[in-house]
Amino acid sequence: QKFQSMEESSSLVERANCRAKGGAPGFKVAILGAAGGIGQSLSLLMKMNPLVSVLHLYDVVNTPGVTADVSHMDTSAVVRGFLGAKELENALTGMDLVIIPAGVPRKPGMTRDDLFKINAGIVKTLSEGIAKCCPNAVVNLISNPVNSTVPIAAEVFKKAGTYDPKKLLGVTMLDVVRAKTFVAEVLGLDPREVDVPVVGGHAGVTILPLLSQVKPACSFTPEEIEYLTKRIQDGGTEVVQAKAGAGSATLSMAFAAAKFADACLRGLRGDANIVECAFVDSQVTELPFFASKVRIGRNGAEEVYQLGPLNEYERVGLDKAKKELADSIQKGVSFIRK
């Protein structure tokens, strides 16, 4: 058996890098927080995505191990690891898509807002890096509380003069993934056949499933509506409690994030009719940010769709959602403006 010398193996890495640089089809994607619970599974899933030519894995701990591990998968994306603040700029330079699952997750008894103190600072630092090194990248922000971290990133980009509202998307896909699963269970359908718009934001009552717009068209009893709305709103807490101190959703979240990132990459490639829900800069309500269906194209979220007709139950839900959202958005904005 022939063993590779250090020189041989580093020249192989060089060759792979050249291949990646030499315009191999695909996009350059960075994951910030890649060694975490979501980050590791998401790194695996993005390494499997044929639209990715280069995958940068950044974290403040453990990236060498995750990078070595994921890089052995025989898919085309070239994987590089970056460890610690000193390497953030190298991790970000040249990226088309930046996915951010960095930060602390919830423990039982915590709300997403309880994470604000720690995660706000992390998102600020990472957003400053993006503004400096890849201001044109599409950003998928996962770190909670999304209702506040998206406004934080927007303020950082505005300060830097790089803000493009179409390029900043708060990831609410897990709410949609859960909604499809729970609704399909009630209807006795395959979740893949079901479409459920989930609008508002990503925390408690701000998560507003529009069950009157479920496709295929169907009707629910008032008890089913109550059950489904609560279960979708409390889906995250259901996982936090089941994990009993070991964190929040990571596997289903990585799945949802990979699905959402794939939609963004297909949009960037120019595919038509890519429509997903996301928390974005919005004029759909009087609030500056709101989650609703958006059409993703070469420039990011190119079109933000209106909510469509709501029934009385949903109108009451919308009022509640907007009250809480207004505070969470303001909290994010003041964190940067203070």
**Looking at the annotation, which residues are catalytic?**
202
Kindly state whether residue 35 participates in binding ligand NAI, applying the rule CB under 6 A.
Answer: yes
Q: Which of 26, 37, 197, 200 binds ligand NAI (CB under 6 A)?
A: 37
Q: Which of 202, 231, 293, 322 binds ligand NAI (CB under 6 A)?
A: 202
Kindly state whether residue 249 participates in binding ligand NAI, applying the rule CB under 6 A.
Answer: yes
In this structure, the number of other CB atoms found within 10 A of the CB of residue 318 comes to 19
Kindly state whether residue 115 participates in binding ligand NAI, applying the rule CB under 6 A.
Answer: yes
Nearer to ligand NAI, 26 or 171 (CB): 171
- What is the total residue count of the chain? 338
221: DSSP letter? -
Nearer to ligand NAI, 92 or 307 (CB): 92
Q: Which of 99, 102, 177, 258 binds ligand NAI (CB under 6 A)?
A: 102
User: Is the distance from CB of 235 to CB of 175 less than 8 angstroms?
Assistant: yes
In the complex, the smallest distance separating the C-beta of residue 88 from ligand NAI, rounded to whole angstroms, is 7
User: Is the distance from CB of 175 to CB of 146 less than 8 angstroms?
Assistant: no
- 151: burial class by Cβ within 10 Å (0-12, 13-18, 19+)? buried
Report the alpha-carbon distance of residue 183 to residue 253 in Å, rounded.
18
49 appears as a binding residue in the annotation? no
Kindly state whether residue 201 participates in binding ligand NAI, applying the rule CB under 6 A.
Answer: no
Alpha helices in the chain (DSSP H): 6-21, 37-47, 63-71, 88-92, 116-133, 146-160, 173-187, 222-233, 235-243, 251-269, 312-337
Report the alpha-carbon distance of residue 149 to residue 171 in Å, rounded.
11
Kindly state whether residue 101 participates in binding ligand NAI, applying the rule CB under 6 A.
Answer: yes
- Contact positions toward ligand NAI, by CB under 6 A? 32-33, 35-39, 59-61, 101-106, 115, 119, 122, 125-126, 142-144, 146, 171, 174, 202, 247-250, 253
Binding residues for substrate: 106, 112, 144, 178
